Structure 1
Amino acid sequence: MVLAAASVSSLPLHAAAAAEDLCVGLVTDLHYADKPTSGSRHYRETLGKLEEAALQFERDQPAFVVELGDFIDAADAVETEQKYLRTINQKFSAICDSRHYVLGNHCVDTLKKEEFLGGVGQEKSYYSFDQGDYHFVVLDSCFRSDGVAYERKNFKWTDANIPAAELDWLADDLATTQKHVVVFAHQRVDVNNHYGVRNNAEVRNVLESSGKVKAVFQGHSHKNDLNDINGIHYCTLVAMVEGSGAENNGYSALRLAADGTIRLTGFRNQRDRDFS
């Protein structure tokens, strides 16, 4: 199903974004699968919703796009899951040459991490990179509390953790940059409920101690949310899979200015955000 492009566009506040602003395309919780609708999750419609987002990103020309986790939904067999991944990634890959994938719990429900990463052509599950005036961090919270990595239904989705080795890496990584920092995550770092990383307080302490992190963009709970904690904006984005039809789509364009100002332009069900 091909959905028409959104009739709504950026608000006037964002329309005249400075030419030097860095643009990033964001999507999350696509949960693509070739299987019937379950509750509010319309798995097959993700393909059409992503096509609509692609048309908007073609206009915005982002420097890169980020998928914030749960790219695919669970399958009964590895071969079926890999087919889901090939199908949705073919659409996603066509949007932009530079892409980043955050691991979500559904990404590794049937697959191993190396199988998912191999399928999308990404070397690591957590890493950092620089672009313009910003330093970007991709986190992986798909670890059990005993440090074992998620794979092939060996975990409970409520037991999400960032292990000690990754926290040490994060602290060292943040210490080496002098740029503004933006973090991408799947499981939430700002809440203590079942959507949150269990050691979220430790993670936030590392982020806050650096004095450089401007914002964290995350998914997982499928609804718009925003928490400001000790100077860091924790912005949760809507899931693309939720609801039927174009009117229930959700995606966004992130614009980052050299002075640290961040503007999120949301489309369809995604809300706009403006951080200074």
Structure 2
Amino acid sequence: MLSRRTVLAGSAALLAGGGQAAAGPVRFGIIADPQYAEAPPNLTLGRYYANSLDKLRAAVATLNGEDLGFVITLGDIIDRDVASFERILPIYRTLRHETRFVLGNHDFAVAPEHLGRVPALLGMEARTYDFALGGLRFIVLDGNDVSLFAPPPGDPRRALAEDRLAAAKAADQPNAQRWNGSLGDSQVAWLEQRLAAARTAGERVVVFNHYPVAPENPHNLWDAARITTLLGRQPHVIAYFNGHNHAGNYAERDGIHYVNLHGMVDTPDSSAFAVVEIAGDRMEIRGHGREPSRSLTLKAA
């Protein structure tokens, strides 16, 4: 597994900087859905699981040539089987940047006895967390919180997930899919608290999650409307990045840029990842491979 030192290296420096960190742009690398498994490709879905090792090596080589504050992967590091982590995580160790992870649904496609180990395998001290860099507060959510696959068998969140999915189906929501998830009430309360703290500190906020919430899509969180309503009331939230929908997507709502990155696992050899730079009233996304580049104007807080 990644050592805690590797994953959290530099965290103290980031947090010490808080919202008043040094001037200059904030730059970070971002990857979505490597979804590695030592398995033949699924030609129906267009997923080439084993090829992700070489794609990730090439992405790391490119990102190591950049001046970045951190590199974050937006979930689905693996497709299945806890042993897959042992093959892909050594590639992440070759990053010279701080390495951070978001939990995805496929990261929990492991035997029940391993479900509770997944965050630790990724060096994560908590399934949700936040950190500050250069006047920005980055908030990492766990969209698997209330789902049919991440909580251990018998956990009451599984029963709640069944209820939420049934309600979504009754409302004929396109995201009423068993492979989606939602946030528990305690996580939403935590998110509200971190948003309030960031506003008090004068920090702009970027949110990371595995699941999209906008625009409407079959891959969205079951409680997407609750999250977009909450974020839309926050004048200091500027962006929300996610994976999960491998085709990629984009929306702007309430001045917030909702950016869905393309999945790295798709296609035999073309990759997908990006470098993001935030400075002043601009967010520049420089895409690599299938990931498009975007030049976006940020709202004033």
Shorter chain as denominator, the TM-score bin is: 0.7 to 0.9
Specify the alignment match of 1:123 in structure 2. 125
SS at 1:256 equivalent = strand
Q: Is the 8 A contact 1:144 1:159 kept in 2?
A: no
Specify the alignment match of 2:20 in structure 1. none
Specify the alignment match of 1:275 in structure 2. 296
Displacement of 1:23? 1.3
SS at 2:239 equivalent = strand
Specify the alignment match of 1:99 in structure 2. 99
**1:182 aligned onto 2:206:** yes
Displacement of 1:224? 2.5
Instruction: Give structure 2 stretches of 5+ with no counterpart.
Output: 1-22, 162-176
Q: List, as ranges, runs of 4+ consecutive aligned residues in structure 1 with deviation greater than 6 Å.
A: none
**1:249 aligned onto 2:249:** no
Q: Give me the whole-angstrom Cα distance separating, in 2, the residues matched to 1:268 and 1:101.
A: 21
**1:227 aligned onto 2:275:** no
**Against the structure 1 CA distance between its residues 130 and 260, is the aligned structure 2 distance closer, same or farther, given a 3 Å change threshold?**
farther
Specify the alignment match of 2:223 in structure 1. 199
> 1 or 2, which has the higher helix percentage?
2
Deviations, residues 28-86 of structure 1 (Å, cap 9, x unaligned):
100111111112111111111011111111111311110001100113xxxxx2x2102
Displacement of 1:113? 4.9
Q: Is the 8 A contact 2:215 2:250 kept in 1?
A: no
Amino acid at match of 1:182: V
Displacement of 1:249? 0.7
Specify the alignment match of 1:12 in structure 2. none
Alignment of 1:69-108 (within 5 A): 69-75=75-81, 81=82, 83-108=83-108
SS at 2:50 equivalent = coil
Displacement of 1:260? 4.1
| Identical counterparts, % of pairs | 26
2:137 to 135, 139, 152: 135
**Against the structure 1 CA distance between its residues 145 and 120, is the aligned structure 2 distance closer, same or farther, given a 3 Å change threshold?**
closer
**1:55 aligned onto 2:61:** yes
Q: Give me the whole-angstrom Cα distance separating, in 2, the residues matched to 1:265 and 1:251.
A: 9
Amino acid at match of 1:49: K
SS at 1:30 equivalent = coil
**Against the structure 1 CA distance between its residues 113 and 181, is the aligned structure 2 distance closer, same or farther, given a 3 Å change threshold?**
farther
Q: Give me the whole-angstrom Cα distance separating, in 2, the residues matched to 1:266 and 1:216.
A: 16
Instruction: Give structure 1 stretches of 5+ with no counterpart.
Output: 1-18, 76-80
93-102 vs 264-273, which moves further: 93-102
Specify the alignment match of 2:41 in structure 1. 37
Displacement of 1:157? 3.7
Q: Give me the whole-angstrom Cα distance separating, in 2, the residues matched to 1:125 and 1:250.
A: 25
Residues matched between the structures, number: 248
Specify the alignment match of 2:194 in structure 1. 173
SS at 1:210 equivalent = coil
Q: Give me the whole-angstrom Cα distance separating, in 2, the residues matched to 1:149 and 1:164.
A: 16
Amino acid at match of 2:139: V
Deviations, residues 175-225 of structure 1 (Å, cap 9, x unaligned):
011211111111111144430001111111221222111010110010221
Amino acid at match of 1:87: R
SS at 2:58 equivalent = helix
Q: Is the 8 A contact 1:66 1:100 kept in 2?
A: yes
RMSD across aligned positions (CA):
2.1
SS at 2:40 equivalent = coil
1:213 to 237, 242, 245: 237
Q: TM-score, normalised by structure 2?
A: 0.77
SS at 1:24 equivalent = strand
Amino acid at match of 2:271: N
Specify the alignment match of 1:24 in structure 2. 28
Q: TM-score, normalised by structure 1?
A: 0.84
Q: Is the 8 A contact 1:69 1:107 kept in 2?
A: yes
